[in-house]
Chains A and B, each alone.
Chain A
């Protein structure tokens, strides 16, 4: 059954813009992205919108729907009353290109700053690396990230404090750090970097990143808090530091990776 949907869409570019009202005929079962496409096809041919997979897997169609970050292709219209106006705006945290499209380059620049995976010398007799499933289980959660950058967008550190973009990498990058720090073969120690350049201390664990993640990655509980604890091991725990100094004399590897 079709009905008329009241939509309010932000139109504009870097020089300015505004919310414009539209009425679009929609059918049951449609998602917000379908309604945007219908709007584009019927009334606003030049409306800029980014999308790709329509299956919640490419992370292109992130926008804010009624003030909340969402993947447009995964937001069904039956989430809203048929009489309710659905307001769609571009991600607020990044510079706007046009209409619903923003420039997310910031996230890639931050990604470049992460020291890459550095496996040590292979431990297998055959010259191959060996890992156990139990060691990679927790890392695999972070690999589900589709880089929709909604966590980066909603994080108040970046969203409300433009100057902090210089000093805080943001939640998406935090789980990248976590993935590497917890990797059983990785030999880098990124803890000083996390405390300083990546700015893990700016996160105040208020968990909005976790709330919006479409892949339901427990960004804060499983990524950022374990990183904060690792940083505490290295920088804020005199007893742990003493333990490390004592243990340095014994070569036994207890699997702590220096912790």
Chain B
């Protein structure tokens, strides 16, 4: 059993008081950066606010989210009696007029909110802690992720477990998108849903918690050759986690929008049926 350790006290602070640290250089300007460091946080804010606005519209509109055989990812799995599709059992009964999207949204939302990458993105752009490197924090006080509520970021792995279930469900939706009234077929919507499922898998599998749970947490990787191989593969994906985070986010939006266009009659889905 490994020993839990504490540092050996090097000096008793009560006996040998540390000399008061000398002051820092009085540079004056809060930052001397001359480049456009504010562009990155600004773009992040614009995209994330755009997504939240779109997401609210999508989740609350409670209609035009299903066009046989395409189901919008915002409404998958659809679990209530007022659902337009029948892919999953309607275990929540009749909750109308509440949108069925609201029941399930907490899982993907929680997953993304506690994601290590999105944390970086919103701490920088919304919290301004820090807005950019070598640009000072906006607030004087700072507790990081040591207190409630941000200490809850540590439960990210639990959201990951659900994320894997959701990735499976979205894959199921993509498979169903090949079946038009009992006949095999392929349409533009099929492609959109397949790409959506693929991006969600890439995002969920490149997750830092996933990398840790699958093998990164081992002290001796050689003791578990299979987990070591899985860990090595996931580490490759993990390097692109930020890309998958944005790509999957934007694609979910595009997928829902496409299905809305088709379902509301603004567009006809081109497809071929065997």
A binding-site residues for B, Cβ under 8 Å? 10, 12, 14, 16-19, 64, 66-69, 87, 89-90, 92-97, 102-103, 106, 112-115, 118, 132, 134-135, 138, 154, 156-157, 159-161, 164, 168, 181-184, 186-193, 197, 199, 201-208, 211-212, 221, 225-226, 228-233, 235-237, 253-259
Interface of A is mostly: mixed
| Cβ-based interface call for B42 (8 A) | no
Q: Given the complex, which residues of B lie within 8 Å of A113, measured CB to CB?
A: 7, 10
* Chain B neighbourhood of A19, CB < 8 A: 27-28
Which 9 residue pairs are nearest across A and B when measured between Cβ atoms? A255-B223, A257-B219, A67-B32, A67-B33, A208-B133, A202-B144, A95-B22, A229-B212, A201-B146
Query: Does chain A have a CB within 8 A of B266?
Result: no
CB distance from A144 to the nearest CB of B (A): 18
Determine if A232 and B154 form an interchain contact, defined as CB atoms under 8 angstroms apart: yes
Task: Confirm or deny: B218 has a beta carbon within 8 angstroms of a beta carbon on chain A.
Answer: yes
Query: With A68-B134, A207-B120 given, is the CB distance from A87 to B7 under 8 Å?
Result: no
Complexed CA–CA distance, A28 and B191 (Å)? 54
Decide yes or no whether B217 CB sits under 8 A from chain A: yes
Interface size in chain B (residues, C-beta < 8 A) = 63
Residues in B whose Cβ lies below 8 Å from that of A236: 151, 154-155
CA distance A92 to B27 in the complex (A): 8
Are A201 and B145 in contact (CB-based, < 8 A)?
yes
| List of A residues within 8 angstroms of B8 by Cβ | 115
**B23 & A184 in contact (Cβ 8 Å cutoff):** no
Q: A202: which B residues are within 8 A, CB to CB? A: 142-146
Closest to A234 in B: B4
Q: In the complex the two chains form, is A156's CB within 8 Å of B129's CB?
A: yes
Q: In the complex the two chains form, is B5's CB within 8 Å of A193's CB? A: yes
- Residues in B with CB closer than 8 Å to A233 are 217
A225 with B208: in contact, given A161-B137, A201-B151, A236-B155 (CB under 8 Å)?
Answer: yes
Q: A197-B7, A204-B119 are in contact. Are A90 and B25 (CB under 8 A)?
A: yes
A239 to B26, CA, bound (A): 50
Q: How far is the CB of B203 from chain A (nearest CB, A)?
A: 16
Q: Answer whether A159 and B136 are a contact pair too, CB < 8 Å, given A182-B219, A199-B146, A221-B238.
A: yes
Closest to A105 in B: B21
* Chain A residue at smallest Cβ distance from B32: A67
Output the nearest chain B residue to A235 by Cβ-Cβ distance.
B154
- Let me know if A232 and B144 touch, CB within 8 A: no
Choose from A97, A189, A211 the contact partner of B2 (Cβ within 8 Å).
A189
Cβ-defined contact, A156 with B220, below 8 A = no
Measuring CB to CB, which residues of chain B are less than 8 angstroms from any residue of chain A?
1-8, 10, 21-28, 31-35, 116, 119-120, 123-124, 129-130, 133-134, 136-137, 140-146, 150-151, 154-157, 208-209, 211-213, 216-224, 228, 238-239
Contact of A211 among B119, B133, B155, B238 (CB under 8 A): B133
Is A255 touching B221 in the complex (CB atoms < 8 A)? yes
- In the complex, the answer to whether A226 meets B134 with C-beta atoms within 8 Å is no
**Residues on the B chain within 8 Å of A159, using CB:** 134, 136
Query: Mind listing 12 A-B residue pairs with CB under 8 Å?
Result: A12-B26, A67-B31, A156-B136, A184-B219, A186-B219, A190-B5, A193-B5, A202-B146, A229-B213, A232-B156, A255-B219, A259-B217
Chain A residues with Cβ below 8 Å from B209 are 229
Report Cα–Cα, A197/B5, bound state, in Å: 11
Contacts of A97 in B (CB 8 A): 22
CB closest residue in chain A, given B219 = A257
A110–B145 Cα distance when bound, in Å, is 20
Give chain A nearest CB distance to B28 CB in angstroms: 7
What's the minimum C-beta distance from B118 to chain A, rounded to whole angstroms? 10
A66 to B36, CA, bound (A): 12
Residues A229 and B120 in contact, CB atoms below 8 Å apart: no
Of the residues B23, B130, B156, contact of A14 by C-beta under 8 Å: B23
What distance in Å separates the Cβ of B251 from its nearest Cβ neighbour in chain A? 24
Q: Besides A12-B25, A156-B137, A189-B2, 15 other CB < 8 A contacts? A: A14-B22, A16-B26, A19-B28, A95-B22, A113-B7, A161-B141, A164-B142, A187-B2, A193-B4, A193-B7, A204-B123, A221-B238, A226-B212, A226-B216, A255-B222
